[in-house]
Amino acid sequence: MDQLSLLNTFVRVAERGSFSAVARDFNTSQPVISRQVATLEDQLGVRLIQRTTRRLSLTEDGQIYLEHARAVVEAMDAAQASVGIARRTPTGQVRVGVPTSVGMYLAARLPEFFARYPEMSLDLKMRDGAFDLVEEGLDLVISIAEATQTSVITRTIGSAASVLVASPAYLAARGTPQSPQDLLAHECIVYTRPGIDRNWRFIGKGGDETVSVQGRFHVDSSEAVRRAARAGLGIAMLPRLTTIDDVDAGRLVTVLDAFCPVKVKIYAVLPSRRYIPARTRAIMDFLIAEFETTPFLQSTAQLAGVANAPIFD
């Protein structure tokens, strides 16, 4: 095997933290990937990767060598892209971490994605908490919190609006708030996710307004918040994506439609490299297009019959 291929394999193993994951990416077997790394180590006369039964980790020599190996691989990728070689149909597996609300929506759109990219596969990780792109061996993370790691790059790909909802039973018993300050007299369900806390921020005709809501239930799962709101526990602020079906069915009712919760930015978090692989670019571009063009991704004001911008812009 040529030296560049060995370097590419080593870089991929270092980023993914798994021989088997890289084997799936390259459509080969785990022993083949392991032998390629061992061959590179033999050529260099040093151990690059420490192998244990539970995980892989770079040795000190491996960390130093990775910087140079990655630069070589990136330079070759960039050279290929410049003459169109890398613009062929994307292939291989992409590991993506997304918030639960985005993942639920994306899952329903995958038939179109796979029809467009028949040689790709997707390993989707969904949760409302933070992802560690490097530690978890992910190719891409979609997040509402900007990454603080120096080993990754963050790109803003859009922004998302939230919506305030409550069950008809709760509103019948406690009344409907008419202004953000009225929330202080209500039981609020606090969704504790990165970038979001109990300080709910609104934009109205009078300017920006922040309300520190109170509630007895704090949870880091959008699904748990949605179910609690449906059960009549209180008023919740949720991503619009998670409430569409319940609002349409009458299980939840939007409140404070004249006041828009401040939008949160949506970020794409990628490994720190100049060249983005075609397969990663494919899923990222697909998501961006969906955020921009899907008709039912609408704001609360639109539900009330008032024209407004899409949720994702």
The answer on 105 and 40 residing in a single domain is no
| 189 and 230 both lie in a single domain | yes
- Could you tell me if 41 and 109 lie in one domain? no
Per-residue pLDDT tens over the stretch 223-264? 899 999 999 999 999 888 778 889 999 999 999 988 878 777
Q: Residue 240 — φ and ψ, nearest 5°?
A: -55, -35
Residue 306 banded pLDDT, cuts 50, 70, 90: very low
pLDDT band at residue 301 under the 50/70/90 scheme: very low
Distance (Å, rounded) from C-alpha 178 to C-alpha 214? 17
Alpha-carbon distance of 304 to 246, in angstroms, equals 15
Strands of 199-204's sheet in order across? 207-212, 199-204, 260-261
Whether 66 and 99 map to the same domain: the answer is no
Q: Which of 157, 156, 168, 158 is nearest to 249 (CA)?
A: 168
Q: How far is CA 303 from CA 5, 237, 252, 257, in A?
A: 54, 16, 12, 8
Residues 192 and 204 occupy one common structural domain = yes
Phi and psi (nearest 5°) for 53?
-70, -20
Q: Does position 283 have pLDDT exceeding 80, yes or no?
A: yes
As a whole number of angstroms, the distance between CA 52 and CA 55 comes to 6
- What residues are paired with 166 via a beta bridge? 253
Mean pLDDT calculated for residue range 206-216? 89
pTM of the model: 0.64
pLDDT tens digits along 150-177: 567 888 887 777 889 999 999 999 999 9
The CATH number of residue 242's host domain is: 3.40.190.290
Q: So what's the pLDDT on residue 151?
A: 64
Q: Which of 31-40, 75-84, 140-149, 275-284 has the highest mean pLDDT?
A: 31-40
pLDDT value, residue 296? 42
Q: What is the pLDDT of residue 184?
A: 96
Are residues 47 and 125 both part of a single domain? Answer: no
Split into its structural domains, the chain has a count of 3
Instruction: Name the band, by pLDDT with cuts 50, 70 and 90, for residue 294.
Output: low
Query: Quick one: pLDDT at residue 206?
Result: 74
For residues 276 and 232, membership in a common domain is answered with: no
Q: Give yes or no: residues 93 and 142 share one domain.
A: yes
Domain that includes residue 181, residue range: 162-262
Q: Is residue 313 part of a domain?
A: no
Most confident of 3-12, 69-78, 138-147, 180-189: 180-189
DSSP codes of every residue in 168-184 = HHHHHHH---SSGGGGG
65 in the same domain as 117: no
Residue 298 lies in a domain: no
Q: Is the pLDDT of residue 148 over 80?
A: no
- pLDDT exceeds 60 at position 44: yes
Choose one of 85, 102, 121: the last residue of a domain. 85
Q: What is the pLDDT of residue 190?
A: 93
Between 261 and 14, the higher pLDDT residue: 14
306 found inside a domain: no
288 in the same domain as 218: no
> In this structure, are 103 and 234 located in the same domain?
no
The CATH number of residue 111's host domain is: 3.40.190.10
Q: Which of 40, 63, 85 represents a domain boundary (last residue)? A: 85
Helix, strand, or coil (residue 66): helix
Q: Is residue 246 part of a domain?
A: yes
- 253 bridge partner residues: 166
Identify the DSSP state of 223: H
Distance CA 174, CA 155 (A): 42
Q: What per-residue confidence (pLDDT) applies to 158?
A: 75
**Nearest C-alpha neighbor of 268 from the set 287, 293, 241, 289:** 287
Residue 305 lies in a domain: no
- Residue 304: inside a domain, yes or no? no
107 falls within a domain: yes
* Better-predicted residue by pLDDT, 205 or 86: 205
Mean pLDDT of the chain: 83
- In which band, very low, low, confident or very high, does the pLDDT at 308 lie, cut at 50, 70 and 90? very low
Does 189 lie in the same domain as 66? no
In a domain, 204, yes or no: yes
CATH of the domain at 38: 1.10.10.10
